[in-house]
Structure 1
Amino acid sequence: MSTIAFWGAVELGLVYAFVAIGVYLAFRVLDFPDLTVDGSFPLGAAVAAVCIIGGLNAWLATGIAMLAGAAAGIVTATLNVRFKILNLLASILTMIALFSINLRVMGKPNVALLNEATMLSPFYGLGLKEYLVRPIFIFILVALAIVAVWRFLESDAGLAMRATGTNARMARAQGVNTGRQIYLGIAISNALVALGGALFAQTNGFADVTSGVGTIVVGLAAVIVGETLFGTRGLLIALIGCVVGSILYRLAIQLALSTDVLGLKASDLNLVTAALVAIALILPRLRKGASA
């Protein structure tokens, strides 16, 4: 694996770390299987790209993209909480609708950002090579996101959200408005995913309507790999594990595709992804069996 390929995989892993943190909030904290992320990731990319092309500041455009992702999450939560649609089905309905919405937002299947000023533009030309600027910049944003989510989950509101995911009936008996916690948690989750989509568009120079395909698998794989390596000893450790898992996942894919011995091609990406996720799911069970 070349140096550029290595740092490119790290960069992509850091971008998808936002997805991993969002998936962790939905699946592990709220116990809410949310497939909305397959639509909110390209939604974030589409909104950010269109806003930047329209002349908005890239930071403001990214903020708007996060709000759009949060709105998508609220739609899913509304279908579940207000209309009592099964959480998995509610998220699938939103995900399907977002495909058409993303096309409406962009006006076409993809939008290029190659000649536009992005969040990273001011940091180029400062002495660092371009392939290092992007992962360093995104790493700082990921670190800030980890601290913000950790502090939130340790707060009273975060404790209520964790109680909702652990035992909703008991949480309601203690006076927690579990519906409100679902709204808030799914909104935050998809806002983080949309942030990842916005950064994906700005680092890769384009937004594409199909960029969200398989996003939920990537997020789950990162969470599972992180839990396998770090366990579930604490919230901060779990969040860091999500980030490390996302980076290792992308490095493993890059290594598999760049190793001539295996004979894999870029068209085998989905096969490699499925194999890595299966291994990540099997390993914890093997470890438990070995320790029993």
Structure 2
Amino acid sequence: MLISAYFASLSPLALFRALPGSIAQGLIWGLLALGVYITYKLLDFADLSVDGSFATGGAVAVMLIRSDMNPWVSLIFAFAAGMLAGMVTGLLHTKLGIPPILAGILTQIALYSINLNIMGQSNQAISVDKYSLAVSLRYVSGDTAAKIKVFTTCILFGVVIVAILYWYFGTEQGHAIRATGCNPQMARAQGINTSFCKVLALMISNGLVGLSGALYAQYQGAADVNMGRGAIVIGLAAVIIGDVLFGKLCAGKKLAFAYTLFSVIVGAIIYYLVLSIILWLKFPSDDLKLFSAIVVAIFLAIPYLKNKKKATRGL
């Protein structure tokens, strides 16, 4: 009786209303996930500076918009700010010999203070009533034309960035970055400057993270020094979900790398849809981080359990 009463209290309409917002957030965070994919999968570099550079992108964009800069133009500066953060992480690792994880943590800690200095306080707000923002939560909850605008913007960003990344990583320099991540020793033997490749890949990655942070700050109407906390978990979740669900479908195809990049964005959307379902089921919102960790752990374990099962059958 209690179980039936619990499910009877759930409103399918409430879940349906939450879906557009979840999809929009997934598309925005998908750009961050692309940045995480570059370091985590292509470069094999555990970059924890993501949490800081995400907030940096949001802080830079919001403060420039408040200074009457066009919201679209502010995205360029947010991307550049993210690249600078990635460059610092790369130089700490390549020039000073600091391990990847520690280099990322040091940059992340430094960015917290830098973000406070950029904004002058812990958070700054921008209103969609005053500024013509690229994306906004108000658009998602508005009329059909407003919803079309925000989804068109987010989808175009995803498509254009995937196209650019697909082209770039098909160039000689892009292949050098991939070779550095695959086998640094062999790459150096082939005359590749692996230190330069690492710094460059980290700059591109954090640039995308900064861009994602700028879009998210516009979407929620504010930038906060803590807005990037846990961003690396969301990025990894998107990469892992995309790989687990679409890895085999992407493999062996003519445009396999492009499909893989798109699967990362789809992974971010699925991640936010799962969170929406969790909230719809009336689980405590304070436990979202816990559920996020559980979701990531489940998708991380799926490939291992599948391989273990196959090995057991083979015996």
The bucket for the TM-score relative to the shorter chain is: over 0.9
Counterpart Cα distance in 2 of 1:207 and 1:135: 21
Residue matched to 1:134: 150
Counterpart Cα distance in 1 of 2:134 and 2:268: 22
Residue matched to 2:88: 75
Residue matched to 1:183: 199
Q: Note if 1:220 corresponds to 2:233.
A: no
The AA in structure 2 aligned to 1:176 is: I
Counterpart Cα distance in 1 of 2:276 and 2:151: 16
1:227 is paired with a residue of what secondary structure? helix
Deviations 1:3-50 (A, max 9, x none): 331010001111110111000000111111100100000100000000
Please report how far the alpha carbon of residue 120 of structure 1 lies from its aligned counterpart in structure 2 after TM superposition: 4.2
Do the aligned partners of 2:71 and 2:133 also contact (CA within 8 Å) in 1? yes
Residue matched to 2:280: 258
Residue matched to 1:288: 307
Structure 1 runs (4+) greater than 4 angstroms displaced: none
Counterpart Cα distance in 2 of 1:3 and 1:257: 12
2:124 is paired with a residue of what secondary structure? strand
1:159 to 175, 200, 207: 175
Change (3 A) 1:120 1:245: closer
The AA in structure 2 aligned to 1:256 is: I
Residue matched to 2:15: 2
Residue matched to 2:217: 201
Residue matched to 2:257: 235
Counterpart Cα distance in 1 of 2:22 and 2:149: 14
Root mean square deviation of aligned Cα: 1.6
Deviations 1:219-275 (A, max 9, x none): 001000000011162321221110111000000011111114xxx121111111111
1:248 to 259, 267, 270: 270
Please report how far the alpha carbon of residue 127 of structure 1 lies from its aligned counterpart in structure 2 after TM superposition: 7.2
Change (3 A) 1:12 1:286: same
Any residues of structure 2 matched to 1:83-162 within 5 Å, and which?
83-114=96-127, 115-120=130-135, 128-162=144-178
Deviations 1:267-288 (A, max 9, x none): 1111111110111111111222
Do the aligned partners of 2:134 and 2:150 also contact (CA within 8 Å) in 1? no
Q: Note if 1:60 corresponds to 2:79.
A: no
Do the aligned partners of 2:15 and 2:280 also contact (CA within 8 Å) in 1? no
Do the aligned partners of 2:240 and 2:267 also contact (CA within 8 Å) in 1? yes
TM-score (norm 2): 0.87
Change (3 A) 1:213 1:120: closer
Greater Rg over alpha carbons, structure: 2
Structure 1's unaligned 5+ residue stretches are none
Change (3 A) 1:132 1:275: farther
Counterpart Cα distance in 1 of 2:105 and 2:292: 21
Please report how far the alpha carbon of residue 116 of structure 1 lies from its aligned counterpart in structure 2 after TM superposition: 2.1
Please report how far the alpha carbon of residue 132 of structure 1 lies from its aligned counterpart in structure 2 after TM superposition: 4.1
The AA in structure 2 aligned to 1:56 is: M
Deviations 1:151-182 (A, max 9, x none): 11111111000000001110011011111111
Any residues of structure 2 matched to 1:11-26 within 5 Å, and which?
11-26=24-39
Farther off after superposition, 265-274 or 34-43: 265-274
1:154 is paired with a residue of what secondary structure? coil
2:41 to 24, 28, 34: 28
Counterpart Cα distance in 1 of 2:175 and 2:134: 34
Counterpart Cα distance in 2 of 1:267 and 1:106: 27
2:144 is paired with a residue of what secondary structure? coil
TM-score (norm 1): 0.94
- The number of residues matched between the two structures is 286
Please report how far the alpha carbon of residue 140 of structure 1 lies from its aligned counterpart in structure 2 after TM superposition: 1.0
1:56 is paired with a residue of what secondary structure? coil
2:245 is paired with a residue of what secondary structure? helix
2:18 is paired with a residue of what secondary structure? helix
Do the aligned partners of 1:49 and 1:202 also contact (CA within 8 Å) in 2? yes
Structure 2's unaligned 5+ residue stretches are 1-13
Do the aligned partners of 1:44 and 1:65 also contact (CA within 8 Å) in 2? yes
**What is the identity percentage for the equivalent residue pairs of Structure 1 and Structure 2?**
40
